[in-house]
Structure 1
Amino acid sequence: MNELSKYESIINDLNLIETQAEVLKNKAKDIEIRNIHIERAIEQMKAENAALSQKVVKLEGEIDRLIGKAELNIFNSLTSKEKETLKTKIENVINKIDYHLSS
């Protein structure tokens, strides 16, 4: 009978190990499926990020173009007399700076 109880004990241990192995197998499968979903989401986000980066570059170029155009429009909107007045004021400021630097 002692042999029989050892045999039953071994069988019970093997059944327990088999059950634990099955649980671990199922957890590993769940994790694998989850990782696949995460990898797909990452790839989708990378593609979205690339598209948004291109949009940012395009919009920055548009901003630079509009700023340049606005600056050009400011100076083009001045009359000849206003341009001359501005030129004279700039020359006066430069002369004052030169005077202070040479002192």
Structure 2
Amino acid sequence: MECIVYFDVVHDEGVKELRGLIFLNDDRLPAEQDYLNMLTDMGYHLRLEKSDPPTFVPTDPGAAYKEIRIRRLDTGKEEDHYEDKNLKSMVANLLPNKPKSL
């Protein structure tokens, strides 16, 4: 299976949106090591900082970036594998906490 990984590279001066590709032999979602292999092939040397959403920090203290966050994963199927937390928060603020009776 082929997975397109959308991720953000956070620099002091801003965020750069990039994409990568992971090939999997079976029908599963990428694991931590799959992300690390992809990012290492792209020249980033990282370790996992947080797992939801996957967030990696550089192992080199002199790196020109602060962190890399996995934003979205496209497996070619219709469902999206990471929820948009900003959208979820906005919807939660717009909806009433308790339903009103008619």
Range class of TM-score, shorter chain: under 0.3
Higher strand content, 1 or 2:
2
- The TM-score normalised by the length of structure 1 is 0.20
Task: Please say which structure displays the higher CA radius of gyration.
Answer: 1
Identify which of structures 1 and 2 has the higher relative contact order when contacts are C-alpha pairs closer than 8 Å and 6+ apart.
Answer: 2
